Amino acid sequence: MTSTDQPLKTSGAAPVVLGGEPRAPIAAEQWPRPAGREMELLGQVVRSGNWGFDGPLEAEFEAAFAAYQDARYGLCVANGTVALQLALEALDVGAGDEVIVPALTWQATAAAALDINAVPVLADVEPGTYCLDPVQVERLITPRTRAIIPVHLYSSLADMDRICQIGARHSIPVIEDCAHAHGSRWRDRGTGSWGALGCFSFQKFKTLTAGEGGFVSTSDPALRERVYSLRNCGRRRHGSADADWRPIQSGNYRMTEFQAAVLLAQFDAFDGQASQRDLNVGRIEAGLAELPGVAPMDHPAGRTRISPYEFVFKFVAGEWDGLSAGGFRRALEAELGVEVDRVNEPLNAAPLYLPQTKRRYRITSAYWDAINPKRFDVPVATQAYAEGVSLPHKILLDDDAVPVVLDAITRLHEHRQALASWENAA
């Protein structure tokens, strides 16, 4: 660490929850935030009359973002969940097929498989990254496995070397869920370019956003044509030279030109923001490694750039004299003035992943039993839910926030016994 990365010397003052004086919130600027050209480009769309899909701004953004992520092609779609569903359908995954997904992810990763009548198979994650464990993937492969979906989660990336090797060995395609990883790179190659297809979300909290929207990347021209057709009611892409193309039953999963305008404007600032996030992740991780009571996530050699959706680290329970992870999160939130959260609950216990609340999935009794998430045991994902601490990505765009975060954790640890008493009395 440089001298500017060292935690500030604590004054000995009490933490905020123990009556200490609150400091100014860090990273106070709102998110999303304008990048500059939003109003200009939105006005251009209004005047053009081209308000729907396949407009010139959408084509410009698709080409620019696909190239930025090192993919040959990209297609804008309605949202990130739809991106995953269309990627699966482009690979002809469907009824009764098994799709391996990590147990620690937002429910959409598994729901996309459910909604095409496939069976989501929940695999545990690696303790050092909270991403899909390749050992567990290998263990769960059966003759019915038709796709593997690693998720680049929070401030970690899935091990694409090992996962792609497993997929190639078993002839099973890999789909990357990159909803947390715009601008991130594995071995200096963009996320979304390693698997057969990559899927991104532009929902309002994401690091690149138009409020809603999604994106599918691929370097396979045939998959490009299939995704285009699937997103556009089964139609053929204008200008397609694919002699083997056939109409496909599908629906409307398109994006509008208004969203493309916002994304183009946001993209102007994105690379600089991604570099700043990567730099500040490294600063915070280095600082956390020197502090008691907390631990950074692993930084595998393959992770050459990280522009995370949220920054995550671990609470080490045995070093806090009885203060729980929940108490720590509440106390840290009071210190920083920004939301401090936990990671997602594993899908075998997640409150929003409830396949058996919908009659549409009761196709057969065997399928009904297969999609029951409670049949999976995922101890590492369960532990992650207990120990993970999540900070919003906007703090990574505030260089001054780094020492404040480290100082706040130091202060809390110094007062850990009093904090444990505070929590027990609550």
Which positions are annotated as active-site residues? 206
Contact 75, 58 (CB under 8 A): no
> What contacts 373, CB < 8 A, 6 or more positions away?
110, 120, 122, 347, 348, 349, 350, 353, 355
- Evaluate the omega torsion of the peptide bond into residue 32 and state whether it is cis, within 30 degrees of 0: yes
CA–CA gap between residue 180 and residue 43 (Å, rounded): 30
Burial code (b: 16+ CB inside 10 Å, e: under 16) for 260-299 equals: bbbbbbbbebbeebbeebbebbbbbbbbbeebebbbbbeb
Kindly give the pairing relationship between strand 98-102 and strand 145-148: parallel
Quickly tell me which residue has 């359908």 as its tokens: 89
CA–CA gap between residue 263 and residue 65 (Å, rounded): 10
